[in-house]
Chains A and B, each alone.
Chain A
Amino acid sequence: MAMSIVHRATGIALYVGTLLLVWWLVAAASGPAAYANVQAFTGSIIGRLIVFGYTWALMHHMLSGIRHFVWDLGYGFKANEREALTWGAAIGGIALTVLIWIIAYAIGGGR
């Protein structure tokens, strides 16, 4: 029940957050000065929080969406299966987010 509204809330957050992605891509196409502005923002504390939160929203929404997809196909309706899918999506979303950022900081260039 609660996970259903989180799926929706993360979807809305991702919707609004596409503005950041558009800004990033347009800046990359515009030139070094515009790109430096994006990096100044995403490198700030608030920017890092937003990008980290955006990653979590994306990972959670994807895994939670896969859970809904399994149900659309008619599987996973037993009580224990529902529990497993729900906890799998909730924990998996956090785990993938942390993993991505560990990798990003470990191998990502320049920072």
Chain B
Amino acid sequence: MSASDTPKRSMRTPLGRVRSLGAAHSGTSDFWRQRITAVAMTLLMIPVIVVIVMLFGRNQAFAAQTLGSLPIAVIMLLFIVASAWHMKIGMQVVIEDYVHHEKLKLVSIMLNNFFSIAVALASAYAILKLSSGV
């Protein structure tokens, strides 16, 4: 949309400019990604649970070997990416619903991004380290 080509005057009405953008002012892309990641995690849930149950009570050597094997590493990585993305969006929705102070809201959303990315990268790094056998 190039509605901002003429910043002072626009043919778009104020309502037209904000319609369908919602409380986040960003439209429905997060709504859609939240559903994609939810479906992805639901599909991955059975293999992930099987892996975790398999590792339950076993020692580190077995855990490292299992998590590092190629198919399981890929499943875990997919699950990590989907869950970190999903929880980032979900927490942002919660923040936008309950935190009304604008600056506090922006800081919270920023911290939410940092936390989610840190969780994703730390987990992914661990899986990659195990599968590369370093």
B-contacting residues of A (Cβ < 8 Å)? Answer: 8, 11-12, 14-15, 18-19, 21-22, 25-29, 31-32, 34-36, 39, 62, 65-66, 69, 72, 100, 103-104, 107-111
A19 to chain B, nearest CB (A): 7
The 8 closest A-B pairs by CB, nearest first: A35-B60, A108-B56, A111-B57, A110-B57, A29-B126, A25-B126, A32-B60, A29-B129
> What DSSP secondary structure best describes chain A's contact surface?
helix
Interface size on B, residues (CB 8 A): 34
> What DSSP secondary structure best describes chain B's contact surface?
helix
CA gap between A69 and B76 in the complex, in Å = 24
Q: B83's contact among A18, A28, A104, A107, by CB below 8 Å, is which? A: A18
Taking CB atoms, residues of chain A closer than 8 Å to B45 are 62
Would A8 and B35 be within 8 Å (CB), given that A28-B60, A104-B56 are in contact? Answer: no
In chain B, positions 24-79 with a C-beta closer than 8 Å to chain A are 35, 38-39, 41-42, 45, 49, 53-54, 56-64, 67, 76
